[in-house]
Amino acid sequence: MHALLEWKSSLDNYSQALLSSWRGNDFCLWRGIRCDSSGSASELNLSNIGLQGSVSKLNFSALSNLISFNLSANSLYGPIPSSIGNLSKLSTLSIFNNLLSGTIPLEIGKLSRLSILYLDGNRLNGTIPEEIGLLHSLLNLTLFDNNLTGQIPSSMGNLSNLTFLALGQNNLEGPVPREIYTLSSLTFLSLRMNKLTGSIPSSIGNLSSINVLNFQSNYLSGPVPQEIGRLKPLAKLTLSSNNFGGPIPVSIGNLTALTILDLASNNLSSSIPEAVGILTHLKELRLSENSFNGSIPRSIGKLVNLSVLKLHYNHLSGFIPDEMNNLRTLRHFSIGENKITGRLPDNICLGRLLENFTAPNNHFNGHLPKSLKNCSSLLRIRLEGNQLTGNLTEVLGAYPKLKYVDLSYNQFHGELSSQWGCSHDLTYLRISNNSISGRIHPMIGNIAQLRVLDLSSNYITGQLPRELRRLTSLLELDLHDNKISGNIPPEIGHLSTLEKLNLGSNKFSGSIPWQLGQCRSLWNLNLSNNEIRASIPLEIGNLQFLRDLDLSHNFLAGKVPQSIGKLKILEVLNLSQNRLFGFIPQSFNNMLGLVSVNISHNYLEGPIPNIEAFRDAPYSAVASNKAGLCGVVAGLKKCSERTYSEKGNKFMILVILLLVSFILLTSLFIGMILLACQRGKRAEHDSVEAQVQGDAFAIWGYDGKMVYKNIIKATEGSVPITVWEREDTESYTKPSYLLIKLLP
């Protein structure tokens, strides 16, 4: 009791709260503890309750009567204490799925009554101790998912009662000890995901009780021995991801209890034996990524319980046998990357269960299977790289669960159906290199999860639907080599996650939308071979991750924007066959990542940037520009000092002109203000004189203005002047004017 309370106090506060019942003298009432008839603790079971602390703090010496010890599925850490060897009566030791570290203590060999030892799912390291072979009563041993190294101890051959052995997901190496193959009581043997070498000996036939045999992901080699056919109870055989060679032994047909046969990713060769068809209980047949040749045996059509058939990446040829139409429980059908010809089986989805249908890069022809149209269970279709024909609008249906489609490099025709908009979970749609026509349906905007859309090399017409802006998860949009026209919609800027955009070889017109600069994840941008006009927008310089930029073969005009120089990791730049003029910006000198450049067939002039991409460029990459283009490219004339400074001089002249213009305009403005002020003062002076001399001088012709001195001069200062009465209806309302005597 004292040992348990001490261990409790070493745990964290939360764990101590979980053990709040651990108080008082009767520990038989404590949580997780059972006592035998003598009142001694015989079982400790605290599995999966969230304990956190060190198991090494527990004094096992004080718990010598324990029969079962279970602390699995917690967060216990630290090494397993050597005092665990004092639990001489222990039958079950289960500490799996914790954070235990260190080595397996040698004292484990003292637990002579142990029948169950579960230490999997920890961080144990070091080797498996030879002393484990002393546990003659052991039935189940699981050490998988640790960091164990070294070889499997041959002493395990002494565990004659062992039925379950799982050593997978470690770093064990060397050959499998032959003593392992003497354990005739074994029903489960898993050594997967280690670094084991060597071959499987013929003595494997001694495992007469084996039900599951898993050697997946090791470095085992040699042939699969004929003796494997003696394992009559075997239900699951997994030898995938090794280096086994040779043929599948014909004796495999004796394993009539098999439900899973996985020999994928090896170097197996020859043909697939007809004997495979005898395995009528088979649910999964995985023979992919080998070197099998010949045709698919007709006997596979007898495997009516088959749900997984994977034969991809082999050298299979011939036709798919008609008997394959009998497989109505198929969920996964994969025969891609072979040399199979003929037609795909019409009833491949007659059971309406098919999820993965992949047969890419073969020589299939003809129409798609009829049963495919109503195969609403489909998740994945890959049929690219064949010679399949037919109208996609007619042969495909609605697939609400579909996630992946690749029908590229075939001979399909028809239009893109609006039913694609029903596949809301679709992430990948590629139908390139076919004969698809018509427009892109606005329903495409409903596929909000789409990551890749590739409809390139078809005959698609019309304009890009603005609904594309709703594809905010799109990473790749490839529509090149079609007949799409109109403007590139500014809504393209909504595709902020876009990494690759290829609209080349179409009939786009208008300008490049500046909103394209909002697609800051772009690394590949191709707008070549269109009819795009106007200038290159400055916002292109915002695409800091751009590596490949192709704007060639358009009608782009204006100067090359300075902002392109901000694309410091750009590797390929093609601005050829446009109407660009002026100097190449000096900012290009910062583009040190540039590998390939083409600015030919424009109206550019001045010095070429002195960077490696231009120095290594052929003359054809700069040809057909203005005669003033000069610099480091072979074939161009060298630039004089004047040429190098001309661009700067022009800039300085422009600055000076602007400065002089500003001074002149300012002077003119000030002069006008001064003139206006002077006129105001003169008008004020005339008004004062008129008031002094009377109103007579305001009535004279020419708006009543007359020089007083001229009157004095004309009359010599003595003759009186008579001013007659005047009526001027434009300026006056019939005033009467009196005679005025001008005094000398």
Residues 587-599 pLDDT 10s:
999 999 999 999 9
Neighbours of 627 (CB within 10 A): 7
Of residues 239 and 703, the one with the higher pLDDT is 239
Rounded-to-integer distance, Cα 480 and Cα 463, Å: 13
Count of CB atoms situated within 10 Å of the CB of 605 = 18
- pLDDT at residue 82 tops 90: yes
DSSP string, 497-557: T--EEE--SSEEES---GGGGG-TT-SEEE--SS---SPPPGGGGG-TT--EEE--SS--E
Nearest to 372 by CA among 397, 355, 390: 397
Query: CA of 309: how far to CAs of 282, 360, 405, 484, in Å?
Result: 10, 15, 19, 41
Q: What is the DSSP letter of 373?
A: T
Please say if the pLDDT value at position 103 is more than 50.
Answer: yes
- The whole-number pLDDT of residue 642 equals 59
Q: What was the pLDDT predicted at 652?
A: 52
Query: What radius of gyration do the chain's Cα atoms show?
Result: 46
Identify which has the larger pLDDT, 110 or 27. Answer: 110
pLDDT score recorded for residue 681: 53
Per-residue confidence (pLDDT) for residue 640, from 0 to 100? 82
SS3 321: coil
Report, as an integer, the average pLDDT of 358-371. 97
pLDDT surpasses 50 at 722: no
Q: What percent of the chain has pLDDT over 90?
A: 81
Spatial distance between the Cα atoms of 438 and 412, rounded to a whole number of angstroms = 13
Query: How many angstroms separate the Cα of 623 from the Cα of each of 16, 527, 603, 626?
Result: 82, 21, 10, 9
Q: Which pLDDT belongs to residue 13? A: 94
CA angle (343 as vertex; 337, 346 as ends), nearest 5: 115
**Is residue 45 exposed (0-12), middle (13-18) or buried (19+ Cβ within 10 Å)?**
middle
553-to-245, 264, 354, 572 alpha-carbon distances in Å: 54, 49, 47, 16
pLDDT, mean over the chain: 89
97 backbone dihedrals φ, ψ, rounded to 5°: 55, 60
Characterize the bridge pairing of strands 476-478 and 284-286: unpaired
| The pLDDT of residue 660 | 59
* Distances, alpha carbon 714 to alpha carbons 357, 693, 694, 697, 721, in Å: 119, 17, 19, 15, 10
Query: Does residue 271 surpass a pLDDT of 70?
Result: yes
Going by pLDDT thresholds of 50, 70 and 90, the confidence category of residue 632 is confident
Predicted local confidence at residue 725, as pLDDT: 35
Q: Say what the pLDDT of residue 678 is.
A: 65
> In angstroms, how far is CA 211 from the centroid of its own chain?
41
pLDDT score, position 694: 43
Tokens of 375: 């195969």
User: Which bin fits 265, alpha (ψ -120 to 50), beta or left (φ > 0)?
Assistant: left
Averaged pLDDT for residues 206-210: 97
How far, in Å, CA of 511 to CA of 154, rounded? 76
Instruction: Identify the residue with better confidence: 482 or 700.
Output: 482
Cβ atoms 177, 156 nearer than 8 A:
yes
Amino acid making up residue 154: S
For residue 134, pLDDT beyond 70: yes
Whether 743 has a pLDDT exceeding 80, the answer reads no
* 354/345 Cα distance (integer angstroms): 13
* Predicted pLDDT at 721: 37
Tell me the per-residue pLDDT of 643-697, one tens digit each, with 9 for 90 and over: 544 444 444 555 466 665 667 777 777 767 777 666 655 544 444 344 434 443 3
Asked whether residue 701 carries a pLDDT value surpassing 50, the answer given is no
Q: What is the pLDDT of residue 532?
A: 97
- For residue 226, count CB atoms less than 10 angstroms from its CB and return exposed for 0-12, middle for 13-18, buried for 19 or more: middle
Confidence of residue 467 (pLDDT cuts 50, 70, 90): very high
Residues 159 and 179: beta-carbon distance below 8 Å: no
Is the pLDDT assigned to residue 734 strictly greater than 70? no
Nearest to 492 by CA among 508, 514, 507: 514
pTM, two decimals, is: 0.82
Closest CA to 404 of 422, 386, 378: 378
pLDDT for the residue numbered 421: 87
